[in-house]
C-alpha cells in the first residue's frame, strides 16, 4: 500500500512551476479535493438516503413491533414494542402511511442501488477505494490510532480543518458503511420480500427468518441515523462552509493557519 496521493494543486501558476522554487503561498491555498464522481454520487445519496429513511420510518410506524425468527404478528412474543416507549399502536398508525412508504422506499432503493454501483465501479477502477478510502497498514497501528482519537476529541483542531485526505477513523467508518453496512441493508431488505426469498432461499437461512431480517434492517436504520449525525457534526467541526463547498465545487481552501 503506497502513500496516499497528494491532492492536486489547482492553481495554474503552481502547476507551471516545476522548478524547486516553493510555490507562492497564494497558489497553495486551493486544492482539488473531491472528484466529480464522489460529489455527484454523494448528493444523489443524500436525496435517496433521505427518502429511504423517511419512507422506512413510515413503513415501520404502520407495524411498530419487532420479532426474531420467521414468525411475528400482533400478540406474538415481540422483542421490541413501540407502545412500551409511549407511542400506542393507533398513534403510530396515524403517523405512518405504509402505502406512501412502500412506494417511495422501493423507488429510492433503486436510485440508491444504481448510484452505489456507479460509485463502486468508478472507485474500484480509479483506485479511489485503495488510495483514499482504505486505511494504510501503518495507520491502523495502536499508537497512530490513539493519537488520532485524542486529536478527535479536541473541539478545535488545525489538523482537522486543514486535512486534505481522510483520517483513519474517517476511512474506517466510510469503509464500514460502503463494504459492510450497505450490503447488509440490501440483503436484509431483500430477505423480507417474498419474491426474492423464493428465488434466493439462502437469504432466509443467512438471517434465520424474515422477522430477524426485518429487525436487523431496523437496527441498521438506527446505525444509519447515527452515522449521519456524526458525519454532519464532523463537517461542522472541520469547517462547515469550506467542507460543504468542497463537496459541491470540488475545490477546498486550505486554511492559512495550517500552512
Point out which residues bind another protein (CB under 8 A).
59-60, 62-63, 65, 70-76, 98-100, 102-104, 106-107, 109-111, 192-201, 204, 210-211, 214
Q: CB of residue 41 vs another protein: minimum separation in angstroms?
A: 18
> Cell 432461499 identifies what position?
201
Q: Which three cell numbers stand for residue 217?
A: 434492517
Which of 109, 238 has the CB closer to another protein?
Answer: 109
Residue number, 102 or 231, with CB nearest to another protein = 102
- The CA dihedral of 31, 33, 36, 37, to the nearest 10 degrees, is 160
- Residue 169, strand partner residues: none
Query: Which of 30, 200 has the CB closer to another protein?
Result: 200
- Sign for the pseudo-dihedral over CA of 53, 59, 62, 66: negative
User: CB of 90: closest distance to another protein in angstroms?
Assistant: 14
Distance, CA of 96 to CA of 184 (rounded, Å): 25
Q: How far is the CB of 149 from another protein (least distance, A)?
A: 39
Distance between CA 111 and CA 47 in Å, rounded? Answer: 9
CB of 78 to another protein, least distance (A): 10
How far, CA to CA in Å, does 191 sit from each of 58, 126, 186, 199, 213?
A: 19, 33, 9, 10, 6
Is the CB of 180 or the CB of 199 nearer to another protein? Answer: 199
Q: From CA 60, how far away is CA 96, in angstroms rounded? A: 7
Find the shortest distance in angstroms from Cβ 49 to another protein.
Answer: 15
Residue nearer to another protein on the CB measure, 9 or 109: 109
Amino acid at each position: 500500500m503506497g502513500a496516499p496521493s497528494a491532492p492536486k494543486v489547482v492553481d495554474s501558476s503552481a502547476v507551471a512551476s516545476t522548478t524547486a522554487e516553493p510555490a507562492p503561498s497564494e497558489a497553495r491555498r486551493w486544492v482539488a479535493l473531491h472528484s466529480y464522481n464522489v460529489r455527484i454520487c454523494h448528493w444523489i445519496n443524500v436525496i435517496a438516503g433521505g427518502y429511504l429513511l423517511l419512507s422506512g420510518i413510515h413503513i415501520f410506524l404502520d407495524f411498530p413491533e419487532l420479532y426474531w425468527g420467521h414468525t411475528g404478528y400482533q400478540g406474538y412474543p415481540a422483542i421490541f414494542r413501540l407502545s412500551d416507549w409511549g407511542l400506542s399502536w393507533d398513534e403510530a398508525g396515524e403517523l405512518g402511511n405504509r402505502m406512501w412508504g412502500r412506494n417511495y422506499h422501493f423507488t429510492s432503493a433503486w436510485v440508491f442501488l444504481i448510484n452505489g454501483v456507479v460509485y463502486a465501479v468508478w472507485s474500484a477502477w480509479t483506485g479511489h477505494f485503495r488510495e483514499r478510502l482504505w486505511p494504510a497498514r501503518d495507520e491502523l497501528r495502536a499508537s497512530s490510532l490513539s493519537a488520532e482519537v485524542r486529536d478527535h476529541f479536541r473541539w478545535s483542531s488545525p489538523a482537522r480543518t486543514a486535512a486534505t485526505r481522510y483520517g483513519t477513523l474517517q476511512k474506517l467508518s466510510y469503509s464500514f458503511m460502503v463494504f459492510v453496512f450497505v450490503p447488509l441493508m440490501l440483503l436484509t431488505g431483500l430477505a423480507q420480500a417474498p419474491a426474492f426469498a423464493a428465488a434466493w432461499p439462502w437469504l432466509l437461512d443467512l438471517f434465520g427468518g424474515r422477522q430477524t431480517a426485518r429487525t436487523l434492517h431496523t437496527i441498521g436504520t438506527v446505525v444509519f441515523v447515527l452515522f449521519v449525525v456524526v458525519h454532519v457534526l464532523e463537517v461542522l467541526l472541520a469547517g462547515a462552509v469550506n467542507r460543504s463547498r468542497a463537496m459541491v465545487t470540488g475545490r477546498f481552501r486550505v486554511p492559512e493557519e495550517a500552512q
